[in-house]
Amino acid sequence: MGKKGKKKVPGTETKRGAPDHFTGFKRSFLDSQVLLYQQALDHPKSKEKTKEFYDKIARDFIAKFGDSEPFSLEPEEDPPAPSENTAATEYTDEEEAAKTTARYTKLQTKLAQWYRSKYKRPEVAKTSPTDVNPFAQIFGSAITKPRKQSPFHTYQKLYYDSRVKEEHERRYAVAKHKYNNMTEAEREAQQLKDPVRVSMMTAITAEFWNLESDDFRDEVAKLAEEEHQKEVLEWELRQSAPKTPQQFHQQLQFAADVIRPIANAISVHMQAAVSICIIGPIADRNGEIEVRSIHSNWPGGISASTWPNFDPAGYELAEQSMCAYGRANFSELLSVKII
């Protein structure tokens, strides 16, 4: 007789395959980098550029979230973005350096697998009308309202180097030395774990934060609020529809930041050459109607071979037509000379 299997309760079946390792803040961070990943795939030297992307995303992930395992463990709050001029950590202990390298390699492999699984190179033949809109996430990320950093994270971002770093480095060195000079039995008896630099940094920064005066913490909270309001204002300017040449000019200052990734994403997802043209009055040209454009060639072509580069004369004629169209459509009140 064969084995009698257990009856499965409906709705409790275990999903096969690898789990979705990252959620919350970590998932949002990884999703925000997807356009860079797609650009690496699209590059003529895609193998080399994709490897560079995996290196960069692993370094940025560690700088923001640390390298503690499990890598999918979600923080209680979204950590601040790492400083661009943060110096690389130098290790004098070979064992520590080896362990750090091993964790880095493991994380890099996991991130590479995650991106390959979630954001495969699109294949037009496999798409169908029932597929999820491939642009929903891209447009969503472009218009997401900025999140407010907590006063603590603002303090960590602004004052770690000047107030906390020296004590953090000292305590970490002591803890690491103690751990390295214990036997495995002693570590188990004292439930001592290998100290993690980033986790210790957060804990020590919290100690310093709690020792600060109420007035100082109120000032940091005010700075966090002012920074958030500034980011929200910039975000609102990007979302609002321009009504005057001055507003249109203000929008143009941000247009490339938002539209370039969209043009690149469309070219990747639809395997198409993309030209996005914005027609409207330009404030610093006395309200004259002009065209601003973003171009992205299809992934299989030469990246520099966009419409204006391929046919400059033809594109100039097209721009002249667009300007004529703009002058006919915009109110005279928008195109008069600005005093």
Give the Cα separation of 37 and 264 in Å (integer): 11
Strand 274-282 versus strand 288-296 pairing type: antiparallel
| pLDDT above 70 for 9 | no
Q: Where are the alpha helices (DSSP H) in the chain?
A: 24-32, 34-42, 46-65, 94-118, 136-142, 151-159, 165-180, 184-189, 197-211, 214-239, 245-270, 307-310, 312-329, 332-335
For the ranges 43-47, 183-187, 233-237, 257-261, the one whose mean pLDDT is highest: 183-187
Q: What is the residue type of 80?
A: P
Statement: the pTM of the whole predicted model exceeds 0.75? no
Give the Cα separation of 206 and 153 in Å (integer): 9
CB 139 within 8 A of CB 99: no
Provide mean pLDDT across the span 31-44.
79
Q: Please return the burial class of 200, using the count of CB atoms within 10 Å of its CB with bins 0-12, 13-18 and 19+.
A: middle
Provide mean pLDDT across the span 40-59.
84
Rg (CA), the chain: 26
Averaged confidence pLDDT in the chain:
76
**Of the listed ranges 85-94, 119-128, 158-167, 278-287, the one predicted with least confidence:** 119-128
Give the Cα separation of 337 and 8 in Å (integer): 76
CB 68 within 8 A of CB 199: yes
- Alpha-carbon distances, residue 71 vs 17, 68, 107, 181 (angstroms): 18, 6, 7, 27
Per-residue pLDDT tens over the stretch 217-250: 999 999 999 988 888 887 776 665 555 555 555 5
**Per-position b or e across 279-296, b if 16+ CB within 10 A of its CB:** bbbbbeeebebebbbbbb
Give the Cα separation of 137 and 259 in Å (integer): 14
Specify the pLDDT at position 155. Answer: 92
Specify the pLDDT at position 122. Answer: 42
Q: How many CB atoms lie within 10 A of CB 105?
A: 11
Which percentage of the chain shows pLDDT scores above 90? 15
CB 246 within 8 A of CB 259: no
| pLDDT above 60 for 8 | no
Give the Cα separation of 37 and 33 in Å (integer): 7
Nearest of 165, 145, 168, 146 to residue 157 by alpha carbon: 165
Which percentage of the chain shows pLDDT scores above 70? 72
CB 157 within 8 A of CB 63: no
Cα-Cα-Cα-Cα dihedral sign, residues 226, 232, 237, 240: negative
